[in-house]
Each structure stands twice: as C-alpha cells, then as structure tokens.
Structure 1
Amino acid sequence: MPKLSLKETEAEREERKWRKAQRAARKAARYHNYGLPDDPSASTSRTRLPHKKPSMQKEYGYVFDEEGGWMPSAASEKFDYREDLRAEEDDFRAKLFDEMELDACQDAAQAMFSGYHIPSRWRDRTGHEASGSVPQSKTMMDDEEYAEYVRRGMWERTHKADAEERVAKEEERAERKKKEKTLREKTKEIEREEVERRRRKKEERANEQFVEGWKAYERRWANLQQAAATATLVSGSLGFDDLPWPVVVDGSRTSLEGLNREVISAFLLSPLHSAEKSRRARVRGALLLYHPDRFEGRLMMGVRHKERDRVKDAVGRVARALTSLAEETNDE
C-alpha cells in the first residue's frame, strides 16, 4: 500500500514552526548558560567574558600543564558535565512530550479508523482495505508504520464531518431498505390474504351452486314422480335437458360424456347435502330412480320421440356408474 501524502494544513504548519522555534530557544539557552557564543566552534567557557582581561584559566576554562598540553579545570569539567546532562534531559523530555501529544489520540484514531470509510487511495485493487496496512497491535509497528497510523487518525479527525455524514447516509439507506422490505412483506401478505379470500369466495360460490343444483335435482324428481303417479305426464313434453341428471348443472348443457362415474360420485356423495343419509343409502336411492326398466316404463312416454334413444343411452350410463358405486359401498 502506498504511503499517505496528506497536504499540510495551516495549523500544522504553524505548529511545526512553533516547535522549531522552541528547539532553537532551548539550544540558544544552553549556549547562553555555558557562556558560549552562537558559533558552536567557539570556546567552551562557562561564564561570559568580563570587560577586563581575565586570567587564562578564567577566560578559556582550562590551563596548560608543564609539558605544553592542556587540561580543563576540575570545576569547569564538573559544571559542563552536569549542564550537558540537564540539557540532554530537557531535550529528551521535549521530544517525549511531542511524541506523547501525537500518541494521545491514537486509541480514538484507531476506533474512528475502524468505523469510518477508508478512501479509495488507501485501498487495494479489489476495493477492500489493504491487508497488513495497519498492524493490529501498535507495539508491532515500526516508525514508518506508526507515522502512517497517526496520519490516518489525523485524516479521520480532520474529515470527521464527512465521515459522520457518510455514516448518517448509510444509516438512512439501511433504514430505507428496512422500510422497503417491511412494505414488500406487508404487500405480499396482503396479496396472499386477497388470494385466499378470492379462493374462499370462489369455493363458497361453488358450494352454493352445488347445493342449489342438488335442490333442483330433487325438485325435478319430485315433480316427475308426482306426474307419473297421477298420470298427468304429457306425452312428448320432456326433452333431454328437462330430465334430472346426477351432475352439477353449471349453465352448460349436459352431455353423455359428462355422465361418468367420477362426476356422478362427486354429486351424489358430496358432504354438502343429505348429511342424514349414508353413502350406501344415497347410491341405492339413485339406482331405484335410474333403473333402466323402471325409468323406461314410467317416464319414457313423456320424452320426445327424437330424443328417446339419447335418453335411453344416458340412463344406461348412469345405471352402470351407480352399480359400480354400489359395489364399492358394499365393501365399506
């Protein structure tokens, strides 16, 4: 992952100048305490030069031995040693405080960095956060990695408003998706309820039509039997569709093919009517009505001549279907 190259802000520029000035002031103070001029190559005397010419030892802080060499005085050596330690300690503390200021927000920066969006320039080719870009533990970072880590935290802090806006948009998008999902589920539930309502309504209409068909079936048979018993049946007054057939009348004309075992069984053995009668009683009662010999002897004279063959065929079909149902009910 390439290193970050963030543009230095005005505040950072001013802070850097201030730190540089502080270091220069501390350095100048050390030279002033040592009695040194601004030029580091000058004499290392501790005290400033007086107006009158001092002795060689006071002026230069050292003396010559008998062999022509030189050695610093004991007081000067002791003082320089302590001042050097103090100066090094001050410089170390200043650098330590600088590092502590940078490190003060590292935990917060890590938390924000983990929670906020990572710019594309810090991502790998797949668009995900580059693996290994930030070690999990700060103790495992080297200087460059730690500097990169701090710069990222600074970026997150300076772009906090953008990050918060982005988080707000993500939350708004998530809330919108949640509402849309809830609406879709509610719409599907309403649609399922509507489908179920239509199915029940259709089933109710079918049941009502079935019950009405059964009532019409019984009514026709009652009228025919009464007319046959009272000899009031007019010859040739009945057509094929005028006779009661054991099928549901749905408005269309009854056909011979429609008089099959399945249709007749569904009509006669339906639980929507004749709950007081058993299956066997229903089938036996229908067999008495559609017995070919009895039907032809009592009712055929009322059927028109041109439709008698068709009626005879239909009665035979119904009788055979009822016989099969009777055998089935006998085994129950």
Structure 2
Amino acid sequence: MLTERRAAILRSIVDEYVDSAQPVASRVVALKYLGHVSPATIRNEMVRLEEEGYISQPHTSAGRVPSDKGYRYYVERLMREEAPSREMGLMVRHQFHQVEERLEDWARLAAVVLAAHVQALAVVTAPRNRPARLRWLELVKLQELLALLVVVLQQAQVRQQLLPLPEPVEQDDLSVLSRSLSERFAGQDAQDVRSRLEGLSPLERTVMEAVAAILEAEDRSSHEPAAIEGLREAISQPEFQERERVLELLGFLEGSGLGRLLPFPAPPRGQVQVIIGSEHPESSLRHYSVVAAAYGHPSATGTVALVGPTRLRYGRAVGMVRFVASLLDELISASFGG
C-alpha cells in the first residue's frame, strides 16, 4: 500500500503521461498537480516509486513513466471512473433507438460509439451461446487405429476430427461407446467434461479429451464475427509509429486473432475486466491493455471491449465500456427477453 503522498504522485504521473505521451518530470508534477509539495520532495518520492516498481525511467535524463504495476495500482485504487454525462447518455440511447432491432446493427453502433468517445480500438462481438455444450457424439471407424469423431453441439453445429485410437476397436463397439458417452456427457461444457475424466477407461478418456478440446476451440471462436471500429484512432497513437507494431495489431484483428486479444472466458456480466500489458498470458500482447465487459443474457453473451496501448485513459474506458454493455443488456432484454 502506497502512502497518501506517493499515491498522489503516481496518479499525477499516470494522468500526465496519458495526456502527453512524454516522460513526466518532477517539476511538472509540482507545477500542475501538487503545488504544495516541493520538487525535491517529489523527486525523492519518485525514486521510491521507481524502486518499488511502480514507475520507470526510460532514459537517464528523462522523467518517469508508469509501469504495468503502476497502471494496475492506478486502476484498482486511484482511478476515477468517468461515466458518460446525462446528455451524452441520452444522445447515445437515441442513436440506438434509431437503428433496426438487430444484434449486428447494435454491435456495430456500439463499436462506433466506444471508438469515438475513447479514441481507441473498439471491438464488439455479437452474443453467442457460451460455453459450447455437447449434444451427442458419434465414432466412425476408418482404419484399425483411426476413427472419425463427430461432435454435435447443443446449438446444432457439427464438428469433426480424426481421432487416433489407443487400441483396435470394432465399429459395433464404437457405436456402443458413442451412445454411452453421449448419455453420460450430454449437456456438458468443456470444463464439465475435463472435471469428469478421472475414472474413465483409456479409450473413453481419449475420446472425451478430444471432445473437450473441440468445445474449448468453439468457445474461443465465439469472438467472431465482430464489429471493429477505431483502427485509425488506435494507430495514430505514438506507440504505433513503428510499422511492425501496426502490422502486429492488424494480425490480431484477422482470422482467429480476436480469440487471443479478448479475455477468455469473458468476465461475468455486470463486471468490467481490465488486462494491462504483462498481465496478458501471451507475450506478443504485452504492449496492449484491454478493457472488456460481457453483455447479452444468461444463455448467450457477447463482449464489449476497448484495446489500446498501456497508456490508455482507463477511467473513461471503464466508464464507457460499462455504460455500453449495460445499454446493450437493456436493449436485448426489452426486445428479446432477458
């Protein structure tokens, strides 16, 4: 826990760095934020903040910039969440009521609103049934040690996969096994399936591990298709001056990249999740922060998210994501039942 003075200095550094994109010197903190504290005292406190990992000094002669740890402390303890003004809220609600009652149109408008008000990349996925659940499965013998696994999901999608078998099995036995596993695991999601693998025979375990992997892949693909807006605003940030960084961001927006960029599983409805830089499990995402919330109804959810460099206006981003997700909840409940 930081002292009150160090917390105030950290908040000043974050706010100033987000605004200017330049390392923050002690004299700037003294002049603009903490006029009652001497620059010498601020310098000493900044040294302590640096030693504790909350800020860093990119160059010897430069000021300080927040670290991921500093941003996390800021978000958890210092940030002032910026809910949209009453006038803005009414204007946005009016915009949504002007479009057709279609989830795709709402998702697209939500992305436009978020990108315009936060100046970051906005991604809104349409609601899908999540998590994927097994309806039934079938095994078809192809070769002595190879079968075709057919998985039918509750949403009626069909997925197929070649499955190496641990032992030779006749088709009649595969059919009996298929019926048995279907009866025992129908309605289960990937987590349920994996929690029940103990005690299965080697052949049963082979089949159900493959089923769990298919269900997990289906869950991750639920981020597609998506409405994406604000790319121009995002790449205009100083962090994207290098061409490689722009290409990296574009790669996340293509194909299965969204499944890596957005949080999985999605946060519980009503909560806003903030993932900052090094908190991403994937190293290639550690230049970015993501602010996300789920919306929809209990059986089908979508994701509302803002993506940007770690130098993000977190208070505004959290407030807007929360507002838009809540508004989409209201619209879906009123139109389709919640």
TM bucket by the smaller chain?
A: under 0.3
Structure scoring higher RCO (CA < 8 A, sep ≥ 6) equals 2
User: Normalization by structure 2: what TM-score?
Assistant: 0.21
The structure with the largest helix share of the pair is: 1
Higher strand proportion: 2
- Larger CA Rg, structure 1 vs 2: 1
